[in-house]
Amino acid sequence: MIRFGLFEFDFQSAELRRRGLRIHLLGQPARILALLLERPGELLTREQIQKELWPADTFVDFEHSLNAAMKRLRRTLGDSPNNPRFIETLPRRGYRFIAHVDRPEAAVARPSGVIDSLAVLPFVNAAADPETEYLTDGITESIINSLSQLSGVRVMARSTVFRYKDRDLDPRSIGQQLNVQAVLIGRVLPRGDSLVIGAELVEVSSGWQLWGEQYSRGLADILAVEEEISRVISGKLRVRLTGEDRSRLAKQSTRSAEAYAEYLKGRYCLNKMTEAGLRDSIGFYQRALQKDSGYTLAYAGLAESFILCAFFPLMPPAEMMPRAKEAALKALALDDTLAEAHVALASVKKFHDWDWQAAEKECQRALALNPNHANAHRLYASLLASQGRGAEALAEILRARELDPLSLVIGMEVGWHCYMSGDYEGAIEHALSTLAMEPSFPSSHYVLGLAYEQMGRFDEAIAAFQKSRAGAPGNPAPLSGLGHALAVARRSVEAQAILHELTGMGARAWVPPYFLALVAAGLDEAEEAMKYLEEAFRKRDPYLVWLKCDPRFDALRIEARFEDLLRRVGLLP
């Protein structure tokens, strides 16, 4: 193996790769490249090339054939004869390889130890066809989900690796940024009713390719290809697989290619995190279940979409959460080892049933099945924080961040948990850190506003809430945060206007009463605040889980009715 620029050339197989991905280069162009790489910096004469590749008894037009082969080679390398980076032409004499090369003896030896950390980068949509984007994203996510179930392997979560989507970066550089030992890269090219899927595993420390393969299969065989890639990669990582690991890798949630395609479309729409995307995801998951009524992952995906609809908020939780619970239970009845379904059920147990013991049990079960499930760690952190178990919550959310270091949501939630535990300086620090990655992220501006307000920095708090509101104009959360901050800053008229605006929104769509109660509490209208909190209880408002810790309700804690409400939600014994 020899490396130059972004390329690698394997002398044994005569294969050329660019950033780990195999490039189609066969015949004379590949053989000429091998001759040039054997003697970099030296003149390779036309006579030498003819002697090596076109023996005397071969009747060809040598000049024409050589020129054509060099043209194909240069086109493959992206090189120019007039301004060469790799191959210099010496007129009427021959050619010289001018780029720096890393010879095998100078390269870093491949370690023989276990590789216990991996990033699966978004597979490239080689056709650049928006209609098949769901397919390339789905294949990537499916491989991530499969490998993340392996014990003893840290696998970067989807939201982190997808920050690198559509960015032409060196996989070694990305691996170093993510602090992983290996990176899986790939590309998908649809051809009629079939797919060409290429995948390569690159070792970060040396840049060596540990494995590479290209598959040309029908659309119906996608699941088998994903299973094979996951199985082969697990072997190349050299981790010791348990029997349970092997059965998880071999498990297929469906054998219907049509159902799987609908499921991938559902995941693609859900990951957009928009109102339209969530609604579309529900339809795709339901179509997947029409094609395969035993498709457990589709049930789990459907449950997740219903839960997110209750939080955005798009629909009343009293309507969405029971549907989510039904879907999660169906999934678990079919397969109790599905971590995603346990996560969905834990969400319902926490945010709707207020069954804290059952929710914790489901979180722990999900993490036992998949310790790399960043969302399971997120949910468990949220469960612990809402009960006032701040130190445990921080440990869990930091574990989630370790698995998903570039997730804006997780970065924001580290700050949120600091806020809920009374560490306002920490909340500011983590909110600003997340905003450094994405300056317009509304949720981090929201957390920033919360922390500034508790520190008495009202002008900065109001400005942060206004930025949050501008970034999420239909979301009542930043609007209520702004209303409460205005109220405690003694700008009562403006706060009353916010309360009126929230009430108007509630007449047209679902607005959590918790947010109305916050503004009323800021205005010192205890009776009005309690009225909204009782409404929140009747309507199973999921935000009530923060009632025990949210400092904005501190003035109400002397109320016997408030204490009684905490008991009914299960936050006091």
**Secondary structure (3-state) at 269:** helix
The DSSP call for residue 201 is: E
Distance CA 328, CA 339 (A): 11
244 with 121, same domain?
yes
Q: Has residue 26 got a pLDDT over 80?
A: no
For the CA atoms of 512, 515, 517, 520, what is the dihedral angle to 10 degrees?
Answer: -140
pLDDT for residue 378: 96
Does residue 520 sit within a domain? Answer: no
Distance CA 540, CA 282 (A): 22
Does residue 218 sit within a domain? Answer: yes
Domain end, chosen from 345, 371, 397, is at 371
Q: Has residue 112 got a pLDDT over 50?
A: no
pLDDT for residue 240: 64
279 with 291, same domain?
yes
279 with 215, same domain?
no
Q: How far apart are the first and last CA of the chain?
A: 67
- Strands 43-45, 209-218: pairing is unpaired
Cβ–Cβ under 8 Å, residues 152 and 116: yes
Q: Has residue 372 got a pLDDT over 50?
A: yes
Q: 347 lies in which domain range?
A: 253-371
pLDDT average, residue stretch 41-56 = 80
Does residue 455 sit within a domain? Answer: no
pLDDT band at residue 224 using 50, 70 and 90 as cut-offs: confident
Q: 197-223 pLDDT, tens per residue?
A: 989 998 888 888 788 888 888 877 888
pTM of the entire structure?
A: 0.78
CB atoms within 10 A of CB 558: 9
269 with 346, same domain?
yes
The CATH number given to whatever domain includes residue 186 is: 3.40.50.10070
Peptide bond preceding 313 in cis form (omega within 30 of 0): yes
User: Tokens 């969400």 appear where?
Assistant: 347
Does residue 30 sit within a domain? Answer: yes
Q: Identify the residue with better confidence: 126 or 365.
A: 365
pLDDT for residue 265: 94
The tokens for 265 are 């479309």
Domain count, the chain: 3
Does residue 426 sit within a domain? Answer: no
239 with 260, same domain?
no
pLDDT for residue 478: 96
Does residue 544 sit within a domain? Answer: no
Give me the phi and psi of 124, to 5 degrees please.
Answer: -85, 130
Q: 171-202 pLDDT, tens per residue?
A: 888 998 998 999 999 999 888 778 889 899 98
pLDDT band at residue 235 using 50, 70 and 90 as cut-offs: confident
Q: 49-82 pLDDT, tens per residue?
A: 888 776 655 445 667 788 888 888 888 888 888 8
pLDDT for residue 19: 61
pLDDT for residue 293: 96
DSSP conformation letters of 284-326? HHHHHHHH-TT-HHHHHHHHHHHHHHHHTTSS-HHHHHHHHHH
201 with 245, same domain?
yes
pLDDT average, residue stretch 375-403 = 95
Query: Distances in Å between the alpha carbon of 157 and those of 40, 141, 379?
Result: 41, 9, 15
88 with 161, same domain?
no
Q: 495-533 pLDDT, tens per residue?
A: 999 999 999 998 888 999 999 999 999 999 999 999 999
129 with 222, same domain?
yes
The tokens for 298 are 């589709």
Q: 325-366 pLDDT, tens per residue?
A: 999 999 999 999 999 999 999 999 999 999 999 999 999 999
pLDDT average, residue stretch 558-563 = 95
Domain end, chosen from 327, 342, 371, is at 371
The DSSP call for residue 197 is: E
Q: Has residue 106 got a pLDDT over 60?
A: no
pLDDT average, residue stretch 280-293 = 97
pLDDT for residue 521: 97
Q: 504-513 pLDDT, tens per residue?
A: 998 888 999 9
pLDDT for residue 59: 46
The tokens for 40 are 């970099």
pLDDT for residue 111: 43
152 with 225, same domain?
yes
